Structure 1
Amino acid sequence: MGMVFGEVADTYHDVRPGYPEAIADAVRDYHGATPERIVEIGAGTGTGTRALLRLGAPITCLEPDPRMAARLAANLPQVTVRTETFEQWEPPAGGVPLLAAALAWHWLDPATRNRRAHDALRPGGTLAVFGHRYGYADPAQSRAIDIALRAIDPDGKSRPAGWFHLDVTASGLFTDVRADTFDRDLPLPTDRYLDLVRTFGPFRQHTPDQQIRALTAVRSLVDNFGGAIVLRLRTTLVLARRPHV
């Protein structure tokens, strides 16, 4: 299912919000130093990669969709891009010091992702999982958009806030699991917001007819809000360590 974004690779690169600089600082402080190497799972077009580059370490990016991988390689020629899934990738002997995933953890097999991450890390290595949760600054706007989208897709479900913190902790495979959050508001005019919606995985999994109806309903709402909406982004960073023994 992680291959649904290639059709909108350019839009994805253009509209997906980046990550705060504090992400890199928090990862470095937790890891204890600049890592010798970073491997990023599901790198997309490089939104999370840019945050990781602030660490100053070589990065290998795993991105299975060739269209996304091509855009990533063009955007960030300084990184190594491998067009393969996390499951296809063969970790080096001894493991890697830092393994990261930005808005990609949910695309991995829930039955194996923690074990694979644990086994890919060297003893004492760091797992960094981070991503945005998209909310709305105005509760009335949030309710109206939720109602409109549920009228089109009544079975649509969203993961609870902090779900990947719970997921990593519940695996029992890591030590010193911690989570940090970073909040900011992002104002978007109608067309920019609709472009962002077009890049969401649940949206892309629906039929073209459902997509058109959803965009039409949301456009009408945002136009009635004055032609703009303010997203409230909560970025969660989960850090965990593979035990030394």
Structure 2
Amino acid sequence: MAGRAQSFGTMAEAYERFRPGYPVELFDRVTAYMGSRPRTALEIGAGTGKATRLFARRGVVVTATEPDAAMRAELRKHVPPGVRTLRAAFEDVRPGETYGLVYAAAALHWTDPEGRWSRMAALLEPGGVFACFGGSVRLADPAVDEAVRAARARFLETDEVPSPDGTPPEDEMQWPGTELGRSEWFTDVRQSVIRRRLTMSDADYAGHLSTVSAYLVLPPPEREQVFGRIRQVLPRTVEIVADITVHLARRCHER
């Protein structure tokens, strides 16, 4: 997992180009849970700033952390003025300043589980909110999906990131809601899903796969082969399912 977590910098520009952004509905869902728009927010693992822009452009003062230098450089190209960017992993952010909202967009699973929730709580104002959101991108057509699975099988059994706490995918509450529900630091844990279907070209879908960690850690010759095989079985245009699973929780006042 550590190797996969550190693999993205080489593809920072592709990550910005091919990864889907986040819809306004996500911002509305977070603020509805909070009861108002947060004044300040800390983002964990901001990447190239897909989620940073969503919040910053709606008046939230965002501090965006990103440990990879190349990703942070790409991030700084795209965020609005006023966003503070820090080259830091979540574990390196020192307690002191607190925020009304701390959030992670498709990045929390790369953080160290040891002391994760006590560190998170220390960064939040009493009653502040933690938000986590993300989800895999998959092909909507089962036949095309199976063809891609077969094309990559020699190189990869799966390109998914496994659940950090082993929660089966069929369980109603998924990670990190499972951990949040057990944590003494958080309460009022909620999970919801924003449904999305998007259409992209075969080239753009292959470009998206080029930013997925399971492919990034393959040796370059194998990576070229697997992408060549996948492109051969893709139609010119593909429909993808890009649902966003949202987890929200509130820091306990008494902690």
Quick check: 1:207 aligned with 2:216? no
Task: Give distance in 1, aligned partners of 2:54 and 2:214.
Answer: 25
Classify the secondary structure of the residue corresponding to 1:111: coil
Task: Give distance in 2, aligned partners of 1:80 and 1:237.
Answer: 24
Could you tell me which amino acid in structure 2 is paired with residue 91 of structure 1?
P
- Map 1:108-127 onto structure 2 (within 5 A): 108-127=111-130
Tell me the equivalent position of 2:206: 194
Could you tell me which amino acid in structure 2 is paired with residue 21 of structure 1?
V
Q: CA deviation at 1:60?
A: 0.2
Task: Give distance in 1, aligned partners of 2:40 and 2:126.
Answer: 14
Q: CA deviation at 1:164?
A: 2.5
Comparing 6-15 with 151-160, which one deviates more in the overlay? 151-160
Task: Give distance in 2, aligned partners of 1:171 and 1:192.
Answer: 40
Tell me the equivalent position of 1:83: 87
Could you tell me which amino acid in structure 2 is paired with residue 241 of structure 1?
R
Runs of 4+ in structure 1 over 4 Å off:
none
Could you tell me which amino acid in structure 2 is paired with residue 171 of structure 1?
S
Task: Decide whether the 8 Å contact of 1:63 with 1:81 is kept in 2.
Answer: yes
Classify the secondary structure of the residue corresponding to 1:244: coil
Classify the secondary structure of the residue corresponding to 2:253: coil
Specify whether residues 157 and 73 from structure 1 end up closer, same or farther in structure 2 by C-alpha distance, changes over 3 A only.
closer
For structure 2, the residue ranges without an aligned partner over 5 or more in a row are 164-168
- Map 1:3-22 onto structure 2 (within 5 A): 3-22=6-25
Quick check: 1:180 aligned with 2:192? yes
Task: Give distance in 1, aligned partners of 2:75 and 2:125.
Answer: 27
Tell me the equivalent position of 1:137: 140
Quick check: 1:63 aligned with 2:66? yes
Classify the secondary structure of the residue corresponding to 1:84: coil
Q: CA deviation at 1:3?
A: 2.9
Specify whether residues 209 and 18 from structure 1 end up closer, same or farther in structure 2 by C-alpha distance, changes over 3 A only.
same
Tell me the equivalent position of 2:166: none
Share of identical aligned residues, percent? Answer: 33
TM-score (norm 2): 0.88
Task: Give distance in 1, aligned partners of 2:253 and 2:182.
Answer: 19
Q: CA deviation at 1:40?
A: 0.2
Tell me the equivalent position of 1:235: 244
Q: CA deviation at 1:213?
A: 2.0
Q: CA deviation at 1:229?
A: 1.6
Task: Give distance in 1, aligned partners of 2:182 and 2:149.
Answer: 30
Q: CA deviation at 1:182?
A: 0.9
Computed over aligned residues only, the root mean square deviation of the Cα atoms, in angstroms, reads 1.8
Could you tell me which amino acid in structure 1 is paired with residue 185 of structure 2?
L
